[in-house]
Amino acid sequence: MASAPVAEDSTLVPILGALQELYTGSDRRTKEEAGQFLENFQKSENAWNTTHSILSSPTMSLEAKMFAAQTLRSKVVYDLHQLSADAQIQLRESLIAILISYKSGPKLIITQLALSLASLAIQQIQWKNAVAQVVSSCGVDASSATIILEFLKVLPEEASDARKIPLSDEDLKDRTTELLQQNSFEVLKILVMYVESAETPKSSHPLIFECLNSWIREVPLPAIVNSPLLDLVFQALSNDDLFDSSTDCICSMIRETRDVDETMDVIPALYAKVMELRPRIQTCKDDPEAFRNYTRIFADAGEAWHMLIARRPREFRALAESIGECAALDEDLEVVQFTFYFWYQLKQMIVLDRYESARHDLKDIYLSLVDVMIKHLRYPYEEKNGDLFGNDKEQEEKFRSFRHEMGDVLKDCCAVVGASLALRKAYVKVSECLQAQSVGENVPWQDFEAPIFSMRAMAREVDLDESSVLPDIMNLLIQLPDHKKIRFAVTLVLGRYTEWTARHPEFLEFQFNYITNGFYVGDSDVASAAAQSMMHFCRDCGKHLVNYIDQLHDFYEKVAPEIHLESLYDLTDGVAHLVAAQPVDKMYGSLKMFCSPIVERLYAKASMPADDAGHRRIADEVELLDTFARLVQPVIEEGKPHPCMQYWIEMWPLVDLLLDNHGGSTYVSERVCKFLRTLMWSYRSHFFPLLAPVAEKLVFCFEKYHYGSYLWASGICVREYGNEYSNQSTQEAVWEFAYRQCISTFKYMTTVNLADIPDLIEDLFRLLSNLVSSFPYRFIPSELCKPSLDAAIAIFTTEKKELIFTGVDLLHDIFSYGFETPPVSRIFVVPSEIQMLVKQLVITQGEIMVRQLFSGLLYAFPRECVSDGVGVLLVILKLAGTLNSVTWTSSMLNMLPEGSITQAEKDRYLSAVESALDTDDMTRLRRQTMDFIGWYTRRNITPRNSIRRIGNIQAFAFNG
């Protein structure tokens, strides 16, 4: 590159013109065209020389040089393969030279050049003395400090980002060792030299600490702690310019001591330095940035050394106190969350029996923390524009979410000090508010609500037999002011303690009345809370409310039309639990009493045309029925009449009518199919009388509407009734029904673009997997098997995660029957004729399956799908045998784009495939295949890559 010819001015003119248009142009279309031109330029081979010309020119604008530096960096990352080995050596020489020429700045360009040089150093594994050469070429005098430090800072950062490095995992590991670990002590010497030198520009001091922060994981920590750097880093906290970078360094050093048993040689020195900072917590509480950094330091220290606090509480107690001080002084709630994980970690240790003495010694700290959290839970006092958060809904939601995080800290406190003591704190605060109000003080509702919320947060930690404070709390709650915010909080508290109330029924009546009255206060939030609490009340206290069912029905019918839908769902959940608690002989009547009004409303809607909103209302009503079917499912001996199924059979004509008239609505079809799924799951064999009409309806509706929901429900039928627990005639009927559905689906798939119906195909794959599981020996020889494989192959160029998972699972389910040992426990040995059929499928379809799978694995699959995809690939290779597998894999490798892989790399992977299959070492082959996919994608799958598959897509075809 240093000797490359300088680009002609005529080459630069269009580039500079496009840059000017991009930065200063006003026409949107012209700017887009300029951006596209520059993007294409960045991909070209000419960009190597052109960027050097721009960066070397003394007359180019800063914008042009910045663009050239960014382009050069992206070229090194993505396009290094465009250069020969000799040209790459020239590149590193020219990069060093250009970096030196910019040692006076600008900083942004230095950073881009340093990143380019770091990426080049990592990729050029033959460049053994990269760090030493860069340092010696730039020189270690004060004037070169900025470029040396910037390069050293970014080198570990670039090496840690494996996604951008086109090396195998093994090569990257070796290269990281060469560049970082083997140079760590030399880098430490350079940093010490710069920090001790009076000639080092002050502007470089933050960079020294940033560089140290990057290398902390590479340099042995004792070397840093025993060097002058330790004192200098802590002293730098007093320098505003160095405050942030020194804080980052200290936190990084602390995090490196998390394995306390391995780092006890350095922890005492670090601990002493950290605790010297404690007085600053109080002095900087009014400086948000300083307080934030000191809280970070103490919280990180607590997380790293929480085990030492548990083991030696008296020696390390001061650290826990300091963190508590940080939490208490954070009036603006900006940094208290930094401490949360520490309190959790320490709690996890000291609740163990072996640390009982530590729990006793630290109990007072956690008890004080209860007060701190309750104070922080309080809503703001001042309103802005008539709203506590100034109508900033995002800020309000953030605070509400944050309160639940503080609630988790309160749970930790309960685990340490005991729930009764923690609850007593909240009780006392509410009592004090009541007492103050009783003597005429104006007590804001926020002061009541915060401790009430804390009671709700701590509920899960309270023993169901607790009797020292909860009775006082329950009696106190009914005395509180009738403010909607307070009522909302109290209602939710009652809903959270329903299990306790079930054991203390003397409190049930006033709680039940308090909750039901919440529906009439005219506030939607309170009504929502009442619905939620009523749900828990009926769930947990149902046996005490059995005789209230008639009154509850009247109440349900009265409030149902008045409350929001989500609240209605919660309320319906509650009353369904109450119906389920009825004696079996009364269950039919109770179920009918609650469901009949819903059925009547649906009958009225079923016969009328409906728009989108009307279909949503129908779906919402069906959801209410689904809730009853899901929750009211008494265990009835097989062969005896089921009181619930008796009612659902009676209302089947309604479902039939809904699907006839409104089955073309996705809202109605999906909700009805979900309802049918619930009936099958809830009543199992008692559903048999409805199985035939339901199956027929699902076939009819799919042929008419082609919605995936009908296939999804069909799959449930197969899974529930296509197994050995059904009689032979039922199994036969299920097979025939599912067969018709699949054939109909395959025919439909030939008429559409599969990319347009991913959800339908996903539902089909689930249905097919259920068929394979229930009827393996009928499915594999049938005419369903081949198109199932074709459909799976056809979707492997998609990027839709769930679709890939279901397709891969289907292939795995089918090919598992190619081995003697079956994938299910109910079958002991796979018949040889089935094994042969599966192997024959692999032989005839294997080459295209291997190609399409690799196409997905290398170009399209989301990362989460790669492991499963490799799993089914290995099954195919094992079934195909060594010769076929090597031939297919070789064919696939030869179809990869030119320049993306060398012949030596192809041969290495083919050798691994052959060796692993010959020795039946599939574990090794999985590891090598994952490694191959990893380095190939890092090298070739870039933002500039337009290739998304290997070869042509095979279109799905079906002639059945």
For 312-317, what is the mean pLDDT? 96
Residue 763 has pLDDT above 60, yes or no: yes
Q: 726-738 pLDDT, tens per residue? A: 899 999 999 999 9
Contact 103, 148 (CB under 8 A): no
Is the Cβ–Cβ distance between 884 and 846 less than 8 Å?
Answer: yes
pLDDT digits (tens, 9 = 90+) for 63-116: 999 999 999 999 998 888 888 989 999 999 999 999 999 999 899 999 999 999
The alpha-helical segments, DSSP class H, found in 632-706 are 643-650, 652-662, 666-683, 688-705
**Residues 446 and 381 sit within 8 Å (Cβ to Cβ):** yes
- Return d(Cα 762, Cα 826) in angstroms, integer: 27
The reported pLDDT for the residue numbered 200 is: 82
pLDDT tens across 560-584, in order?
Answer: 998 999 999 999 999 999 999 999 9
For the chain, count helices (H), then strands (E).
47, 0
Distance, CA of 526 to CA of 485 (rounded, Å): 8
Q: Is the pLDDT of residue 740 over 70?
A: yes
Calculate mean pLDDT across residues 785-793.
Answer: 93
Residue 2 has pLDDT above 80, yes or no: no
Give yes or no for a contact between 680 and 687, defined as CB atoms under 8 angstroms apart: yes
Total residue count of the chain as it appears in this document: 960
Q: Quick one: CA torsion of 343, 345, 346, 348, rounded to 10 degrees?
A: 120
- What distance in Å separates the CA atoms of residue 290 and residue 431, rounded to the nearest whole number? 37
The neighbouring-strand residues paired with 384 are 387
Write the CB contacts of 679 (distance below 8 Å, at least 6 apart in sequence).
629, 648, 687, 690
Q: How far apart are the first and last CA of the chain?
A: 63
pLDDT at position 874, please?
Answer: 96
At residue 220, the pLDDT reads 92
What confidence tier does 958 reach under pLDDT thresholds 50, 70, 90? confident
Residue 6 has pLDDT above 60, yes or no: no
Taking the C-alpha atoms of residue 459 and residue 455, their distance in angstroms, rounded to an integer, is 6
pLDDT of residue 949: 65
Reply yes or no on whether the pLDDT at 4 is more than 50: no
Check pLDDT > 60 for residue 212: yes
Yes or no: say if 507 and 500 are a contact pair by the CB < 8 Å rule: no
| 422 Cβ contact list (under 8 Å, min separation 6) | 367, 370, 410, 413, 414, 458, 461
- Pair 765, 806: CB distance under 8 Å: yes
pLDDT for 416-466, tens place per residue?
Answer: 999 999 999 999 999 999 999 999 999 999 999 999 999 999 999 999 999
In the structure encoding, which two tokens stand for residue 858, read together?
């290398």
Percentage of residues in the chain having pLDDT higher than 90: 78
Task: Report how far Cα 691 is from the mean position of its chain's Cα atoms.
Answer: 39
Quote the mean pLDDT of the chain.
Answer: 92
CB atoms within 10 A of CB 871: 16
Instruction: Tell me 623's DSSP state.
Output: H
**Helices in 160-238 by DSSP H: which ranges?**
169-179, 184-196, 205-215, 221-225, 228-235
DSSP 296-324: HHHHHHHHHHHHHHHHSHHHHHHHHHHHH
CA pair distance 438, 486, nearest whole angstrom? 17
| Cis check: omega of the bond before 106, within 30 degrees of 0 | yes
Distance of CA 515 to the CA centre of its chain: 36
CA dihedral 861, 862, 868, 874 (to 10 degrees): 40
- Of 382 and 376, the one with more pLDDT: 376
Q: How far apart are CA 112 and CA 132, in angstroms?
A: 20
CB count in 10 Å sphere of residue 947: 13
- Cα torsion 501, 502, 503, 507 to 10°: value is 40
What pLDDT shows up at residue 3? 39
pLDDT at 951: 66
Split at pLDDT 50, 70, 90, the class of 953 is: low
Q: How confident is the model at residue 899 (pLDDT cuts 50, 70, 90)?
A: confident
- 900-948 per-position pLDDT tens digit: 888 988 999 999 999 999 999 999 999 999 999 988 887 777 665 555 6
The 10 Å Cβ neighbour count of residue 826 is 8
Q: Which pLDDT does position 723 carry in this prediction?
A: 86
Question: For residue 186, how many other CB atoms are within 10 A of its CB?
Answer: 13
The pLDDT assigned to 385 comes to: 65
Type of residue found at 858 = L
Q: What is the mean pLDDT of residues 9-35?
A: 83
* 661-717: pLDDT as tens digits: 999 999 999 999 999 999 999 999 999 999 999 999 999 999 999 999 999 999 999
Phi and psi (nearest 5°) for 749? -65, -25
Residue 195 has pLDDT above 90, yes or no: no
> Residue 651 contacts by C-beta under 8 Å, 6 or more apart in sequence?
595, 599
CA 645 – CA 634 distance, rounded (Å): 11
Out of 540-554, 774-788, 871-885, least confident range:
540-554
Q: Tell me how far apart the 2 most distant CA atoms of the chain are, in Å.
A: 96
More confident site: 953 or 134 = 134
Q: How much is the pLDDT for 216?
A: 94
Give 385-400 as a DSSP string. TTBTTTT-HHHHHHHH
pLDDT classification of 386: cutoffs 50, 70, 90? low
* Separation in Å, CA 733 to CA 495, 700, 771: 47, 16, 13
Give the residue carrying structure tokens 């940094």: 335
- The per-residue pLDDT for range 461-486, each reduced to its tens digit, is 999 999 999 999 999 998 899 899 99
Region of 179 please: left (phi>0), alpha (psi -120 to 50) or beta: alpha
Dump pLDDT digits (tens) for 270-307: 999 999 999 999 999 999 999 999 999 999 999 999 99
pLDDT per residue over 812-828, tens digit each?
999 999 998 877 766 77
Say if residues 390 and 325 touch (Cβ distance below 8 Å): no
Structure tokens, 102: 């910019």
Which neighbouring-strand residues pair with 387? 384
Q: b/e per residue, 889-909, with b = 16+ CB within 10 A? A: bbebbeebeeebbeeebbeeb
The token pair at 691 is: 């199985």
Per-residue model confidence (pLDDT) at position 954: 66
More confident residue, 35 or 495: 495
Going by pLDDT thresholds of 50, 70 and 90, the confidence category of residue 845 is very high
CA dihedral (431, 432, 436, 437) positive or negative = negative
